[in-house]
Amino acid sequence: MYKERHAIKFIDGIVITAACLSTFLYTISYWFIFLTVLLTVVGFILPGFYATDIAGARLKSCSYGTTILSVFPYTLLVVVPAFIVSLFFHEQLGWSSIIVYACVTFGILNAYFWTGIIIVYLTSKQIGISKRLIGIFCGMIPVANLFVLSWIVKISSREVREESERFWRNEARKALQICKTRYPILMVHGVFFRDSEHLNYWGRVPSELIKNGATVFYGGQESAGNVRTCAMQIKKAIVQVLQETGADKVNIIAHSKGGLDSRYCICMLGMAPYVASLTTVNTPHRGCEFAEYLMKKAPEKLKDTVAAAYNKGAKALGDVNPDFVSAVTDLTKDGVARLNAEMAPMQHQFDGIFTQSFGSKLNHATSGKFPLNMSYHFVKHFDGFNDGLVGEESFQWGSEYHFLTNKGLRGISHADMIDLNRENIDGFDIREFYISVVQGLKERGL
């Protein structure tokens, strides 16, 4: 199992510091050059032994770079004051010794730092583009650069630890196949996205489920279509999955509008006998008042322009007949109310189908990624506490309901619930969340 060896950092700090300070000994004998070289080489090697059982070459490299960056500031605390003190003893030491010390130390520490930062930037997946740009900009600002460096070290070290622990956890439970459900999983996406081979809507979730035994398929419906059209496409997906696997039913996990599409498919299109369970995640089962406000208040010309641009792009990416306005209309409070009224007489179709729903909320607007950080307050004005798009009161549906949040400012956004940003969140593990959902289905015999 993953284990950190904190003594390695301490020892490496001493070795690199000693390599720098040993340059003062050149006046005694040039043989001390070999000591500097030896200590420097050892200082570059030691970080590779900081932790054991790190999963994979990428994380091993990331750990190596992170260890260097965490040692670097403490080395500065010694070598910089040593240089300042040497200036007061320039007569005894001689300016040549001081200059050699400064030059060699500058070279060693620059090589040490840039080795660490380049490796971390190349191997860390949690340090995104924005964080990299902040690091580059603040690298030129004294004091601020040290704070940003500690921030980068915290993110990358956490990534190495969590991903390694996840790897070994999956290895330990591999034989249990905790996500090997009786029926295959059909994951149904929400609005304005498509399931993609190259950029999976569900982020790192499907691969994690598959590692733990799940059989996963995708809804593949239009990114922007009305509920009825998308429900027809989901029906086709269900039929295809049953034919391909020989299974009698599917377990549907649907996010956002996908939950409405799936409900309509089961209720109105005769697919109830072929669905074992429906799990909706952050679905607006009672619609979104803010969406209704936008549709009513936005000028027709603006709506037509936005719709035309989106529909053209969506068609190029695979939609057969994208309809931006219809998709948004079906998400409004009145739109969902009409759908619910249409489906109400057919609710008995869900008899014998396990149904559950999940919702989450952002705790603070600025903690959400763009554009959810922009929409949070707007949605809150109309729908109350929300996930950046859907109000809290709209999530609940089915026989079981679970509301998810975490401590601190972050919260859990609409996008976080599908791992859209591939981001590890404090207090909430999105991949383990879905594993627990599917494991629960398995335990129910589904």
**In order along the chain (446 residues), what is the average pLDDT of each group of 10 residues?**
83 89 76 85 90 88 92 88 77 75 87 92 88 77 80 92 92 93 95 74 93 94 89 95 96 95 95 96 89 73 72 73 79 90 92 95 70 68 82 92 86 90 88 96 95
* Pick from 246, 82, 52, 252: nearest CA to 161: 52
Place of tokens 């763009």: 370
* Pick from 439, 275, 255: nearest CA to 358: 255
pLDDT score of 328:
81
Same domain, 223 and 162: no
Please compute, for residue 67, the number of CA atoms within 13 A of its CA located in the half-sphere on the CB side.
Answer: 28
Q: Which two tokens stand for residue 24?
A: 């003062």
Task: Identify whether 173 is part of a domain.
Answer: no
Same domain, 115 and 187: no
Same domain, 121 and 79: yes
Residue 158 CA to residue 417 CA, distance in Å, equals: 21
Same domain, 147 and 197: no
Residue 112 CA to residue 67 CA, distance in Å, equals: 11
Task: Identify whether 223 is part of a domain.
Answer: yes
Task: Identify whether 174 is part of a domain.
Answer: no
Distance of CA 409 to the CA centre of its chain: 17
Task: Identify whether 256 is part of a domain.
Answer: yes
Beta strands in 282-380 (DSSP E): 354-360
Residue ending a domain, choose from 139, 168, 197? 168
* Pick from 203, 265, 201, 348: nearest CA to 252: 265
Same domain, 326 and 248: yes
pTM for this model (two decimals): 0.86
Task: Identify whether 163 is part of a domain.
Answer: yes
Same domain, 250 and 103: no
Residue ending a domain, choose from 119, 137, 168? 168
Domain count, the chain: 2
SS3 251: strand
Residue ending a domain, choose from 145, 168, 191? 168
SS3 29: coil
Cβ atoms within 10 Å of 266's Cβ, excluding its own: 26
Same domain, 339 and 309: yes
3-4/51-52 β-pairing:
antiparallel
Residue 197, φ and ψ in degrees, nearest 5 = -70, -30
* Pick from 80, 82, 108, 96: nearest CA to 15: 108
Print the domain residue range for 142: 3-168
